[in-house]
Structures are given as C-alpha cells and as structure tokens.
Amino acid sequence: MIDGFHDVQFPTDLAFGSAGGPEFMTDITALSNGQEVRNARWQGARRRFLVSLGPRAVGRVRELIAFFEARQGRRFAFRFKDPFDHSSGPGEAVSPTDQEIGTGDGVTSRFGVSVQVAPSLPPRTNILPVVETIGVAVDGVVLTAGQFTYDDLENQVVLAQPPAIGSTVTAGFEFDVPVRFESDRLVVERHAGGGEGPEIGLVEVAR
C-alpha cells in the first residue's frame, strides 16, 4: 500500500463537476529530416483531476477545509472516485465476470485485481477496489462472500479453495484512484451565503 496513505474517499458531492483524465509523459526529438523520435517515459498513464469548488454553503466549505487539513496538503494520499472511470465493466453496472484476473492451476489461490484498459496495454493495477462491491467468479460461477476475501495490502482476491487447472477466474468491482493534492495551500473566499474557491488539482500516485 502507498506510504503516507489515508484510506478515506474525497467527498463525492464536492467532486461533482470535476474534470480530468489520463496523462502520459512522452519525450519527442525532432530529426533533421523532419521525422520525430518519440519515447514514452511512463509505462502507463497517470491521471490528473481538477475539482471546481464553486459557490458552496459554509458547511460544505468547512468540510473541504477539514479534509485538506487532515491530509496535510500534499502529505497524505487518499481515494478519489473518477466520475467517468470507476467500475470494472463497460458501464456503471458491475458483474463478477467483468475482468479476467487469472487462470487456475490447482494450487494458486491469490489473484491480483486489475482492469484491462485495451488489449495493447498492460492491465491497470494502480487502483483501489471498493471492498463491498467486489464479486468473484470461477468459470462463470459466482462465489459467495465466504468463498473469497480481499487482501488490500497486496490488492489480491484470496479464494478459499484454489481453482481447478485451466479454470478462468474473473472479478467485478468499483474502484477509486489513489491521489494527493497538487498543492500544499488551499485558498477559499467567504461571501454572502457561503464561500467558494479555485479549482483544486489532484494527482494520481502509485499504490
């Protein structure tokens, strides 16, 4: 798990209207013949978000300030629900057959939780599953709550019985993104009826 991480979620109602998405780091060298050499510095994408506080009631602004202070600005990371990408399936609904996470060998009972973004890319593993939403199936047969557990330190589901050789292990879940505040400073403005502040930057961190 992340060093300096608080297992709390940024208030989803305060995050309403946020913007953001994946970011890559690419070095580009222009050659004398007009061609380019492009090199990816990151193995995968890192996500950034902008949360627009906008006009809020005093109580909501205080909630944001308290959350920011509890994280000590950039010091501690936390959970953030990406409004457009927070479930294992193609839509909002979650199914235990959404993502293939392993193949049984008759011995292994631990399987890492991940999301396949595209066939050409490695699975996305830097996620924080919402435990109560996790469902697991073996060859399409859904397991009961007593037949598996979730190890949050290793980000793995642990089956009570190792699946048979050749069986397909799948999982479905909602997940959050591990992020931190982009700044150590939060500035809010008081006005009649409430308060507001600027856009708040959030940056994905490795779990």
Residue 177 has pLDDT above 90, yes or no: yes
Task: Assign 203 a pLDDT band (cuts: 50, 70, 90).
Answer: very high
Position 195 confidence tier, pLDDT thresholds 50, 70, 90: low
C-beta of residue 38 within 8 angstroms of C-beta of residue 107: no
The helix/strand/coil state of 30 is strand
pLDDT value, residue 188: 80
The domain 1-86+175-207: what is its CATH number?
A: 2.40.30
User: Could you tell me which of 152, 206, 143, 151 has the C-alpha nearest to residue 172?
Assistant: 143
Q: What would the pLDDT profile of 129-160 be if each residue is shown by its tens digit? A: 999 999 999 999 999 999 999 999 999 999 99
- C-alpha gyration radius of the chain: 20
* Domain-wise residue ranges, the chain: 1-86+175-207, 87-173
Nearest by Cα to 142 from 172, 182, 183: 172
Question: What are the tens digits of pLDDT across the range 19-63?
Answer: 888 888 888 999 988 889 898 887 778 999 998 877 667 777 888
pLDDT above 90: residue 14: no
C-alpha 150/C-alpha 189 separation (Å) is 43
pLDDT greater at residue 58 or residue 115: 115
Neighbours of 53 (CB within 10 A): 19
Residue 190 has what pLDDT? 78
pLDDT confidence bin for 197, thresholds 50/70/90: low
| Percentage of the chain exceeding pLDDT 70 | 94
Say how far apart CA 180 and CA 125 lie, in whole Å.
Answer: 18
Cβ pair 137, 125 in contact under 8 A? no
Tokens of 61: 């602004």
Please tell me what DSSP assigns to residue 85.
Answer: S
Of 204, 183, 152, nearest in space to 72 by CA: 183
Query: Please, which pLDDT band fits residue 192 given cuts at 50, 70 and 90?
Result: low
3-state secondary structure of 116: coil
Instruction: Indicate the class that CATH gives domain 87-173.
Output: mainly beta
Q: Do domains 1-86+175-207 and 87-173 have the same CATH topology?
A: no
Q: What is the pLDDT of residues 51-106, one digit of tens each?
A: 887 766 777 788 888 999 999 999 999 999 998 899 999 887 899 999 999 999 99
